[in-house]
């Protein structure tokens, strides 16, 4: 019997580690370094199991989510593009941006502030 020549596959423990790292938002390169594999190998493992949109197009993903393809495209581009998009990182960033202190429209818009002040000075009401 001849010895098998080629690359060794991943053990179940290594595959579990890959998924744990992927779900926590690590990049393919980072995961590859951790398990001593090429990032392309990590990509192949994740894609085969549906971890990287299972090969779906943006339009397929949009249909599944009930959104327009342009919305999905903007979301991916806003968070690093196809090569760098990580759903967990995008979600965390979105929540962080939503929580930040925001100025109200009147504080940000001088023209609007002047119009409101003028209307209030004459006791104007929208009714």
CB neighbour list of residue 34: distance below 8 Å, 6 or more residues apart: 17, 21, 26
Q: Which residue has the tokens 């989510």?
A: 65
CB neighbour list of residue 89: distance below 8 Å, 6 or more residues apart: 25, 79, 80
pLDDT of residue 86: 79
pTM summary value:
0.43
Average pLDDT over residues 20-40: 86
Question: What residue ranges do the domains of the chain occupy?
Answer: 11-55
Average pLDDT over residues 92-111: 86
Reply yes or no on whether the pLDDT at 80 is more than 80: yes
Reply yes or no on whether the pLDDT at 81 is more than 90: no
Taking a C-beta distance cutoff of 8 angstroms, is the pair 68, 79 a contact? no
- Residue 80's Cα: distance from chain center in Å? 8
């Amino acid at each position: 019997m001849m010895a098998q020549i080629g690359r060794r596959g991943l053990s179940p423990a290594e595959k579990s580690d890959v998924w744990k790292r992927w779900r926590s938002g690590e990049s393919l390169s980072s995961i590859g370094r951790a398990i001593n594999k090429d990032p392309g190998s990590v990509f192949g493992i994740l894609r085969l199991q549906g971890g990287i949109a299972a090969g779906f197009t943006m339009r397929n993903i949009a249909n599944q989510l009930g959104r327009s393809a342009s919305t999905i495209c903007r979301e991916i581009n806003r968070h690093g593009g196809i090569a760098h998009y990580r759903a967990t990182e995008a979600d965390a960033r979105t929540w962080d941006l939503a929580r930040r202190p925001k100025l109200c429209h009147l504080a940000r818009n001088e023209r609007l502030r002047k119009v409101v002040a003028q209307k209030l000075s004459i006791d104007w009401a929208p009714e």
